[in-house]
Amino acid sequence: MIKISVIIPVLNEAETIGKLILYLTENAFNPNTLEFIIVDGGSTDDTSKIVNDFDAARLLHSEKGRAKQMNFGAQKASGTILYFLHADSFPPKYFDRYILEEVEKENLAGCFRMQFDSNHWWLRLASWFTQFSWKVCRGGDQSLFVSKNLFEDIGGYDENYIIYEDNVLIDELYKQSKFVVINKKIKSSARRYEKQGIWKLQFHFWVIHLKKSLGASADDLYAYYKKHLLN
């Protein structure tokens, strides 16, 4: 039986992590084929306490940094399929069945299309575009499944990237395998857009994508992010 390891990096996610774990356990097709690994990067709120209240979840602690946290979770995972998920993203009902169906078709990496929990016209449009297989439409908010063997073959997440780590890994997966977009919606939070401002955040995300395409280093991208968006 194929086992899926759901890996969720967290940092001060007390507001959402309990809701997510409960949702995942109640909406899985076969919970017996899943393990839930929560990797805490040093939360100072009640995140760890909340996770420990769930028998189904395994709490790990690692250095801060999403790439480091996800790599650490992958190292400790017992599943043959890794499923990386943000703490504020809720995959479709029976998400595990949809992933296994693709793996059985030898699609060893992929994601869901996305829907923001917002009715703003731009976020609705951006969500609509995620149904297409174009690499430019990908992002970590759509979650990511990948076989553990493939993940290890490409070296996992590049820990040099404090930001943009999801896109760097996805770029490599597009080169290495048939990447599939499952036509079911994961609902992701628009809280960062609401906090930063939709147009401000979108503009700076576009600039970061452009800088990377023009050869900017991991340090360059983080310096730009820190200057314009880290507040």
Read off the pLDDT of residues 189-218 as tens digits, 9 standing for 90 and up. Answer: 999 999 999 999 999 999 999 999 999 999
**Distances 20 to 47, 74, 96, 97, 112 between C-alpha atoms, Å:** 12, 19, 15, 18, 17
**Per-residue pLDDT averaged across 130-144, rounded?**
94
pLDDT given for residue 31 in this prediction = 92
pLDDT given for residue 230 in this prediction = 85
Read off the pLDDT of residues 38-60 as tens digits, 9 standing for 90 and up. Answer: 999 999 999 999 999 999 999 99
**Per-residue pLDDT averaged across 79-101, rounded?**
98
**DSSP letters for 124-159:** HHHHHHTTS--GGG--GGG-EEEEHHHHHHTTSS-T
Mapped onto helix, strand or coil, the DSSP state of residue 191 is helix
**And the tokens for 230?**
């880290």
For a pLDDT cut of 90, what percent of the chain falls above it?
97
**Per-residue pLDDT averaged across 11-39, rounded?**
97
